[in-house]
Amino acid sequence: MPVENATYEIVRREDFSDVTYLLEVRVPLLARAAQPGQFVIVMSHPEGERIPLTIADFDREAGTITLVVQAVGKTTMEMQRDVKAGSHLYAVVGPMGEPSHLGAKKVVCVGGGLGVAPVYPQARAFKEAGAYVIGVIGFRNKELVFWEDKFRAVCDEFIICSDDGSVGIKGVVTKGIERAVAQHADIDRVIAIGPPIMMKACADLTRPLGITTIVSLNPIMIDGTGMCGGCRVKVGGRTKFACVDGPEFDAHQVDFNDLMSRLRRFRADEQVALESWQRACAAHSATAAD
């Protein structure tokens, strides 16, 4: 649902690391309608790129949604530089996509890296629905950890993993899933959100165990309505559109190799756009210095 006559004010910004930052945006109608698992498409300025961002949190009373962004390309780096508390986004459209399906009695909510943010509202929703929630989150190192306190507040059990062992279990999130499965024979669902290779590893682990596993996919997306076809993914041998059929799908049916191949499709173009923007920024800085 497009949100009209809104200013999309940034009421809070928090930087988790040199590349990861949080934006809390005032969009009352959208915050009222948002559900776990859904996303929005934003533009930072009129000439900007449309980018999809999963809703990491929402506050219906305050009328805000929370987005957690990683500065990895031209647009997200530009937003990191320009979008501050008190500034405004040009456009916010949503909520989009199908909301998460609740109903599990014992669930493991897994987030890797930036995927930690969008899995949080799911963990909270499962807890509010009466499920026993085991949170598993993973980061490269201790310095990158965020929202640990938020997860502990909504999880019955909490496991944190780090690649270098600087916090929690040394290893990737599958180590955390293995620990949870070893202690609980009655887990009936795993929710995993993160890089495709991480979600694939989670699916490979749970498939022989027969545990229903849901992942949130992040293919290239443009319009968010299924018209452009850019977000098509292969699920169970059939073509699906992540923006309208998802973004959540049965992990055991997803063709992750195809997904990862499609994500690399425009890498060269993305690099050209980034380098062009960086040159323009450098030229502007040099002119300003003169």
C-alpha 130/C-alpha 132 separation (Å) is 7
Beta bridge partners of 234: 239
Domains detected in the chain: 9-96 (2.40.30.10), 106-263 (3.40.50.80)
C-alpha 64/C-alpha 66 separation (Å) is 7
Residue 86 CB partners (closer than 8 Å, separation 6+): 9, 10
Nearest in space to 42 (alpha carbons), one of 5, 76, 87, 84: 76
Residue 6 has a pLDDT of 52
Cα separation values, 264 from 197, 244, 259, 267, Å: 13, 22, 9, 5
Instruction: Please measure the distance between the N-terminal and C-terminal CA atoms of the chain and give it in whole angstroms.
Output: 47
Residue 244 has a pLDDT of 86
Q: Map residue 280 onto helix, strand or coil.
A: helix
- Residue 62: alpha-carbon gap to chain centroid: 22
Beta bridge partners of 58: 65
Residue 77 has a pLDDT of 86
Beta bridge partners of 24: 12, 66
Q: Map residue 234 onto helix, strand or coil.
A: strand
C-alpha 277/C-alpha 223 separation (Å) is 23
Residue 4 has a pLDDT of 44
Residue 283 CB partners (closer than 8 Å, separation 6+): none
For the chain, list the strands marked E by DSSP. 9-15, 20-26, 39-43, 51-54, 57-59, 64-70, 91-96, 106-112, 132-139, 157-162, 169-170, 189-193, 213-216, 232-235, 238-241, 248-250
Residue 184 has a pLDDT of 94
Residue 3 has a pLDDT of 46
Tell me which residues of the chain have a pLDDT lower than 50: 1-5
DSSP state of 101: P
DSSP state of 100: P
